[in-house]
């Protein structure tokens, strides 16, 4: 036969239970707070890495850190396997790429136009106008790239016209230098 706990035993057990539950919730709160803080620190270090990488390119060098930091979420990170095409000549161009890690070969069939590595970018002509790609870009090794869509950049340019003029001027300088280097190369017959 089971005996019922006395009122005193019940109250003592109830108080102990409440204390244990409060300790449990406090420990859970501390653990979650620690995990959240750690995640935020990792996110901030990743964001700083992305910011540093973008600031190392001609296009984004003169964009203030606070504005570029605000728009980092517009960039998508992609990992491309070795030998895989990143963009193909003739495809619709609506984005540019910044290489975070790895190597990219820009080519037209077997003719290699450029080998690009960390900090370099390609596909930037798509930021000026959405036209078919003029070359193919292939990952030489496993490569991580940031991808920025023209529509995201357009929103930055619309909200911050001063920065838009700066980025457009940088793009014009880059394209002018590339054209000049092509015109100055001796023809290969």
Q: What is the pLDDT of residues 49-58, one digit of tens each?
A: 778 888 888 7
Is the pTM of the predicted complex or chain greater than 0.75? no
- Name, in order, each residue with C-beta under 8 angstroms of 104's C-beta and a sequence gap of 6 or more: 86, 97, 115, 116, 117, 120, 122, 137, 138, 139, 140, 143, 145
Region 12-34: what's the mean pLDDT? 76
> Can you tell me the distance from the alpha carbon of 152 to that of 166, in angstroms, rounded to the nearest whole number?
16
pLDDT of residue 42: 46
Region 146-150: what's the mean pLDDT? 86
The pLDDT confidence band at residue 143, using thresholds 50, 70 and 90, is very high
**Residue 44: is its pLDDT beyond 70?**
no
Region 161-175: what's the mean pLDDT? 81
What count of Cα atoms within 13 Å lies in the side-chain half-sphere of residue 72? 19
Which residue did the predictor score with more confidence, 185 or 148?
A: 148
Region 24-47: what's the mean pLDDT? 68
134: nearest Cα among 112, 114, 108, 172: 108
Highest mean pLDDT among 19-33, 140-154, 169-183: 140-154
Q: 57-60 — which CB contacts under 8 Å span 24+ positions?
A: 57/98, 57/119, 57/120, 57/121, 58/170, 58/173, 58/174, 59/121, 59/124, 59/167, 59/170, 59/171, 59/174, 60/167
Any idea which of 36-40, 42-46, 92-96, 156-160 has the lowest mean pLDDT? 42-46
**Residue 31: is its pLDDT beyond 70?**
yes
pLDDT of residue 142: 96
**Residue 43: is its pLDDT beyond 60?**
no
Tens of pLDDT, residue by residue over 55-106, are 888 778 877 888 777 777 777 888 999 999 999 999 988 888 989 889 999 9
The pLDDT confidence band at residue 121, using thresholds 50, 70 and 90, is confident
């Amino acid at each position: 036969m089971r005996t019922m706990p006395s009122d005193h035993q019940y109250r003592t057990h109830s108080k102990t239970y409440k204390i244990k539950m409060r300790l449990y919730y406090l420990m859970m709160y501390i653990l979650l707070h620690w995990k959240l803080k750690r995640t935020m620190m990792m996110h901030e270090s990743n964001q700083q890495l992305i910011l540093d990488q973008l600031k190392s390119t001609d296009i984004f060098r003169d964009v203030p850190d606070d504005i570029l930091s605000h728009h980092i979420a517009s960039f998508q990170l992609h990992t491309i396997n070795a030998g895989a095409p990143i963009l193909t000549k003739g495809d619709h161009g609506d984005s540019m790429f910044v290489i975070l890690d790895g190597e990219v070969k820009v080519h037209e069939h077997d003719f290699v136009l450029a080998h690009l590595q960390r900090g370099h970018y390609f596909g930037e002509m798509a930021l000026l106008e959405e036209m078919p790609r003029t070359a193919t870009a292939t990952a030489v090794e496993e490569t991580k790239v940031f991808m920025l869509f023209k529509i995201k950049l357009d929103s930055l340019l619309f909200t911050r016209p001063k920065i838009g003029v700066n980025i457009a001027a940088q793009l014009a300088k880059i394209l002018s230098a590339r054209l000049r280097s092509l015109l100055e190369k001796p023809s290969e017959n």
